[in-house]
Amino acid sequence: MRPQLLDRFGLAVEVRTPQDLGERIDVLRKREAFERDPSGFVAAQAKAQASLSRRLVRARKQVGAVSFSDALLLKATDLCRRLGTDGLRGELSLMRAAKAVAALDGRNAVELADLREVAPMALRHRLRRDPLDETDSSGRVRRAMDEALVD
């Protein structure tokens, strides 16, 4: 996609096949259980789904009250500057996503760990491609986070 279109996406996730054998086996077992009895599988997951749904509803109500300190705002803008993101959508997406994580965890303030958690999703797709740099965008974001998002 063209950079102008990618910039319109707030978050983008990188989907990879799990490398941990235990995770892979768990996914395969769950998939087989679903194929064997879809209704039973859905019923078995209902309690966890309801719990997650309640957490999400609470977080949506709370997210507007979550604060973002000036110190963290400075770190977020420094991270985006280091990565060379154009415009301010990177910072805006980073702030909104970090607030959502804090609200989901039931907190009223964003923490540095929240920024670190969402930075790859908010920024990876906003990076300019350098044909001479063999580092993938995830590596570039990690390197910049190690420099900008320190205590």
* CATH classification at residue 108: 1.10.8.80
130 and 57 within one domain? no
Count the domains in the chain: 2
pLDDT recorded at residue 74: 95
In a domain, 13, yes or no: no
In a domain, 133, yes or no: yes
Q: Is the pLDDT of residue 132 over 90?
A: no
90 and 56 within one domain? no
* Domain coverage including residue 42: 21-63
| Residue positions counted in the chain | 151
Please say which residue of 34, 63, 92 terminates a domain: 63
In a domain, 15, yes or no: no
Cα of 75 vs its chain's centroid, Å: 17
122 and 74 within one domain? yes
In a domain, 10, yes or no: no
Q: Which residues are catalytic?
A: 89
136 and 80 within one domain? yes
C-alpha to C-alpha distance for 65 and 109, rounded to whole angstroms: 8
In a domain, 136, yes or no: yes
Q: Is the pLDDT of residue 86 over 60?
A: yes
Kindly indicate the confidence band of residue 21, based on its pLDDT and cuts at 50, 70 and 90. very high
> Measuring CA to CA, which residue among 15, 23, 126 is closest to residue 81?
126
In a domain, 5, yes or no: no
pLDDT recorded at residue 147: 87
Residue type, 50: A
Q: Which of 5-9, 77-81, 104-108, 139-143 has the lowest mean pLDDT?
A: 5-9
Q: Is the pLDDT of residue 93 over 90?
A: yes
In a domain, 12, yes or no: no
